[in-house]
């Protein structure tokens, strides 16, 4: 299960979504687990897969690229709570992650390091 905060670059409003799957797709297509409506977002842009220690980010051959901490994703990358994911005009942060790895152990990450006190990470406005 993923809890992800999504906002548009340059805007202060953010939305938080909780998705109950261990693996989710992000893209413009209405069949995506997390739909990001913008022409800069590919139909199936990328995937996030819950693994021990965070989530694995895989770009699905997107036209405009998937960006992790200001670097274009060229191969699978580990995403953790301090990371910023950019897809088209959207910024995303994983707020919590609960899932099962292949060994059957439960993965549970509830609060990102910046969740207490002060609330928001550097660079994010309320």
DSSP per residue, 54-109: EEEEEE-S-SS-EEETTEE--S-EEE-TT--EEETTEEEEEEEEEEE-TTSPEEEE
Give CA–CA dist 41/61, Å, rounded. 11
| pLDDT at residue 119 tops 60 | no
Give CA–CA dist 9/114, Å, rounded. 20
Instruction: For 12, list phi and psi in degrees, rounded to 5.
Output: -90, -25
| 56 in Cβ contact with 46 (< 8 Å) | no
Q: What is the pLDDT of residues 7-39, one digit of tens each?
A: 999 998 999 998 889 999 999 999 999 999 999
Q: What pTM value is reported for the model?
A: 0.74
Question: 1 versus 64: which is more confidently predicted?
Answer: 64
Q: What is the pLDDT of residues 78-113, one digit of tens each?
A: 998 879 999 999 999 988 766 544 334 434 444 444
Query: Which pLDDT score is estimated for 114?
Result: 41
């Amino acid at each position: 299960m993923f809890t992800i905060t999504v906002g548009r670059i340059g805007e202060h409003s953010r939305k938080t979504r909780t998705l109950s799957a261990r693996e989710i797709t992000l893209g413009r297509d209405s069949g995506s687990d997390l739909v990001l409506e913008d022409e800069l977002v590919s139909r199936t842009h990328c995937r996030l897969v819950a693994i021990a220690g965070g989530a694995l980010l895989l770009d699905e051959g997107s036209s405009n690229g998937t960006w992790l901490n200001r670097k274009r994703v060229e191969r699978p990358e580990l995403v953790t709570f301090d990371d910023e994911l950019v897809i088209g005009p959207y910024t995303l942060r994983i707020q919590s992650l609960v899932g099962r790895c292949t060994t059957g152990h439960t993965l549970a990450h509830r609060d990102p390091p910046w969740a207490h006190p002060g609330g928001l990470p550097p660079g994010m406005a309320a």
